Structures are given as C-alpha cells and as structure tokens.
Amino acid sequence: MTQDIRDVVHAFEPGPGTARPLLLLHGTGGSEHDLLPLGRMVAPDAALLAPRGGVTENGMPRFFRRLAEGVFDEADLRRRTGDLAAFIGAAQDRYGLGAPLALGFSNGANIAASLLMLQPEVLAGAVLIRPMVPFAEPPAADIAGKPVLILSGAMDPIVPVENARRLAAQLTASGASVEHRILPAGHGLSQADVSLAAGWLRSLALPNAA
Ligand code: MLT
C-alpha cells in the first residue's frame, strides 16, 4: 500500500550520524513532539521519526481505540497497526531510512508490540517502555532474532508485572531476543529508563541501512 506521509501528522529530525533511525511512539495524550528529547538522549546519532496517534480519546491522541483502561479494541488495533506500517514504509522512502527501531512509551509501546507481532519485518527491533500484552490471544509471529528491550515498573498501577512478563514470554516464544528489566518505578518514565535504553541501543550499534 502506498501512503502520502503528509496524511499523518509527524515530526522528523534527520540524524547527525549513521545510526539506525528511531520510530518514537508517544503515550496517551502525547504528541509527535513528546519523545524527541528522549530519542535524542538515547540515540544521539539517529534520525528520529515520530508520528502522532490517529485516534483521540476525550481529545487525547492515541494510536488505537480501547474499550476501557487496559481493554483494547483489537480490531481497531489491527487496523491501526497496518496503517502505522504503511506510514513507516512511506517515511522510509521519503527520508531514505532503513527499518527503524521503535521506541514506544505506554500506548505507543503497545502498538509497537502489536507491530512486532503482526508485521515484524517493518522494525529492526524495539524498546518498549511500560508495555502490556496487546492481544488476548497472541498472533502467530516470526520475530526471529529481533532485539527487544522491555522496561517495566514494579509499582506500575496500569500494567501488572505479570502482564509484562507474559508479553516478554510471547515475544520470546516468537523468536525475539528479549531483555526484560523491571525497575523500581511506576508507569511514568524514570532516569533509569533513559540510561538503560541508551546503553541497550549503544550495545546494538545498528547502522542505518536504507
Ligand atoms: C493503553 O491503552 O494503551 C494502555 O492502557 C496504556 C495507556 O495508554 O494508558
């Protein structure tokens, strides 16, 4: 499917170096600008691509609809995941990018997990901050060898640690190379998230390969 990237509100910052681009996916109520400073901190050399979620809930942008907190509209999630994959493809052509590494927070981490399960070829890997299991039944996926870092909060009131462990197990069972760290944190981003994500991305050292 071709897509005009002007149809998707997004921010793009070219990378000063040759690192693999980061796809930044914000949380509920965020915008395309939210994660740019975080992206620059954890991947100083990378191009940054940040779409705004196309759904609004009481005026707050999100990447897909939900029926209640933690209860997802899975048909909408599948559809929006396809839309996001099409946007990524169009943005790669437009900006000359290789398959990006996703960096998603909360709702953005959840659609990144869905993308890994439904269209893993679109991503080089992912950092998922405070994600949860996106589908009640995990789709059969081949995520062979893709690196995934999951950062969970031990005191997260939205995502029980057991749920994040289940996601790690599902992604591992599909072949992903998963590192799951549980931090002494709640749902919000902490300094430890920033240092762990930066260190993990540095250790991958994936170059941009358009
Ligand atoms: C979601 O709806 O994706 C999760 O509940 C996280 C959130 O956005 O609050």
Determine contact, residues 86/3, Cβ cutoff 8 Å.
yes
Question: Which DSSP string do the residues of 8-77 spell out, in sequence order?
Answer: S-EEEE--SS-EEEEEEE--TT--TTTTHHHHHHH-TTEEEEEEPPSEEETTEEESS-EEETTEE-HHHH
User: Which amino acids are annotated catalytic?
Assistant: 106, 156, 187
pLDDT given at position 209: 66
CATH 3.40.190.10 applies to domain 5-204: no
Instruction: Give me the amino acid identity at 70.
Output: G
Q: Is 182 helix (H, G, I), strand (E, B) or coil?
A: strand
Atom of ligand 1 nearest to the CA of 106: 6
* Run means of pLDDT, 10 residues per run, the chain, 210 residues: 77 89 98 98 96 97 95 97 97 95 98 98 98 96 95 98 98 98 98 98 79
| In the chain, where the domains are located | 5-204
Instruction: Specify the pTM.
Output: 0.96
pLDDT given at position 120: 97
User: Ligand 1: residues within 6 Å at CB?
Assistant: 27-28, 66, 69-70, 106-107, 110, 158
pLDDT given at position 6: 76
Structure tokens at 133: 């299991």
CA dist., res. 96 & res. 12, Å (int) = 12
CA dist., res. 109 & res. 104, Å (int) = 4
Atom of ligand 1 nearest to the CA of 130: 6
For ligand 1, the distance from its centroid to the CA atom of residue 36, given in whole angstroms, is 20
Determine contact, residues 135/164, Cβ cutoff 8 Å.
no
For ligand 1, the distance from its centroid to the CA atom of residue 138, given in whole angstroms, is 18
